[in-house]
């Protein structure tokens, strides 16, 4: 039962050993940790190395997605463009539009601060499937990113939670919004939903 710290130490100790880096990235992916600097560094190293990348097989696309998100976080334009290009080349076609790729395109737009373009993408996704939870959540993130007042954000989150009551991340986010606005009884209610 390894931990993130152990995997990271192992990967740091053997930078040329891509199996350790791959294991680290897989752990980060599985546990949904947010370690953008580490993921960007090791993801780029793996994807740059032809043999390591081909050894990944189909997992390479998960690594591309993960590295793209890390590149957005650390604001590495080249890494972002390279990952995006590779993903689009493989998955983005007019005949079989991919919802996952649309979401990634929306994320890239969000990172660039282009809120309207991002909202357009998510609206497109919701047109196809009105119950697309990922798109609904990203719309709320755009709302927050634009600097909406906590009341508006809470309203949007309530709307989302009315449809998806079991989303613990959303309950936690709503609790934090309430706590930040010093509405502690409401925050406690939301935290109770998490238990």
Partner 1 sequence: SVQALALQLASPRRSRVVLHLTPPQRSLRAPAWSVRRSPLLQSTSFARPGAMPKVTVAPLAHTKMLLHAAQYPHCAVDGLLIGAGAGADVSAADAVPLFHNGTLSPALEAATAAAAHDAAASGRRIVGYYAANEHIDDASAARTAGPVADALAKGGGAPAVLVQISNRRLADAGDHGLSAFARAGDSWGPLDVACAPSSKFLAALDAGIEIVDFDAHLDDVAKDWRNPHVGDWLEAN
By CB under 8 A, name the one of 18, 25, 28, 76 that touches partner 1. 76
Check binding of 125 to partner 1 (CB under 8 A).
Answer: no
User: Does position 185 bind partner 1 by CB under 8 A?
Assistant: no
- Judged by CB under 8 A, the residue of 86, 88, 117, 126 near partner 1 is 86
**Among positions 28, 82, 87, 125, the unique one binding partner 1 when judged by CB under 8 A:** 82
Instruction: Choose the binding region for partner 1 from 13-21, 46-54, 93-101, 119-127 (rule: CB under 8 A).
Output: 46-54
Phi-psi category of 113—alpha, beta or left, where left has phi over 0 and alpha has psi -120 to 50?
A: left
List CB contacts of 42: < 8 A, sequence separation 6 or more: 11, 21, 24, 25
Q: What share of the chain is helix, strand, coil (3-state, %, to 5)?
A: 80, 0, 20
Instruction: Rule CB under 8 A: choose which of 7, 28, 39, 107 binds partner 1.
Output: 107
Q: Residue 194: how many CB atoms within 10 A of its CB? A: 10
Is-contact 20 11, C-beta < 8 A?
Answer: yes
**Is position 135 an interface residue for partner 1 (rule: CB under 8 A)?**
no
Q: Which residues bind partner 1 (CB under 8 A)?
A: 12, 32, 34, 36-38, 40-41, 44, 47-48, 50, 53-54, 60, 69, 72-79, 82, 86, 107, 110-113, 137-138, 140-141, 144-145, 147-150, 153, 157, 169-170, 172-173, 176-177, 179-180, 182
């Amino acid at each position: 039962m390894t931990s993130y710290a152990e995997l990271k130490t192992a990967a740091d100790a053997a930078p040329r050993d891509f199996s350790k880096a791959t294991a680290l990235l897989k752990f980060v992916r599985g546990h949904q940790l947010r370690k953008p600097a580490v993921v960007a560094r090791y993801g780029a190293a793996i994807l740059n190395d032809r043999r390591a990348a081909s050894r990944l097989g189909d997992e390479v696309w998960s690594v591309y997605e993960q590295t793209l998100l890390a590149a957005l976080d650390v604001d590495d334009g080249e890494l972002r463009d390279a990952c995006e290009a590779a993903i689009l080349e493989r998955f983005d076609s007019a005949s079989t539009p991919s919802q996952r790729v649309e979401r990634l395109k929306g994320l890239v737009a969000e990172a660039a601060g282009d809120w309207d373009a991002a909202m357009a993408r998510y609206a497109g996704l919701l047109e196809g499937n009105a119950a697309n939870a990922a798109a609904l959540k990203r719309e709320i993130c755009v709302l927050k990113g634009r600097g909406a007042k906590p009341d508006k954000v809470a309203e949007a989150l309530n709307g989302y939670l009315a449809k998806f009551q079991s989303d613990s991340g959303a309950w936690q986010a709503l609790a934090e919004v309430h706590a930040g606005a010093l509405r502690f009884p409401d925050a406690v209610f939301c935290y109770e939903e998490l238990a």
